[in-house]
Amino acid sequence: MPSLELTFLGTGTSQGVPIIGCDCPVCLSEDPRDNRSRTSLLIRMPDLHVVIDTSPEFRTQCLREGVNRLDAALFTHAHTDHVMGFDDMRRFCEMEDRQMPIYAAQETMTHLRRMFQYAFDTPQIWKNYLRLEPHVIDGPFQLGKTTILPVELPHGKMMSTGYVFSREGRTLLAYFTDCACVPETAREAARGAEILVLGALRDTPHPTHMNFSQAIETAEAIAPGATYLVHLSHEVSHSKKQPELPVGCQLAYDGLRLTTPL
pLDDT tens, residue by residue, 104-118:
999 999 999 999 999
Q: Nearest to residue 76, comparing CAs of 36, 108, 45, 112? A: 108
Q: Are strands 226-230 and 195-199 parallel, antiparallel or unpaired?
A: parallel
DSSP strands (E only) in the chain: 3-10, 40-45, 48-52, 72-74, 100-104, 132-136, 141-143, 146-155, 158-167, 170-176, 195-199, 226-230, 249-251, 257-261
Distances from the Cα of 205 to the Cαs of 202, 219, 222, in angstroms? 8, 17, 21
- Rounded mean pLDDT of 28-32? 98
User: pTM for the full model?
Assistant: 0.97
Give the pLDDT band (50/70/90) at residue 46.
very high
Q: What is the pLDDT of residue 122?
A: 73
Longest dimension (CA), the chain: 53
- pLDDT of 104: 98
- Whether 1 has a pLDDT exceeding 80, the answer reads no
Domain spanning 3-261, CATH class: alpha beta
Rg (C-alpha) for the chain, rounded Å, is 17
Element (H, E) at 38: none
Question: Going by DSSP bridges, is the β-strand pair 195-199/170-176 parallel, antiparallel, or unpaired?
Answer: parallel
Cβ neighbours of residue 214 closer than 8 Å, sequence gap 6 or more:
181, 200
CA distance 146 to 192: 17
Q: What are phi and psi of 114, to 5 degrees?
A: -70, -45
**Measured CA distances, 131 to 10, 27, 60, 92, 135 (Å):** 25, 38, 21, 10, 13
Residues 234-247: pLDDT tens digits? Answer: 999 999 999 999 99
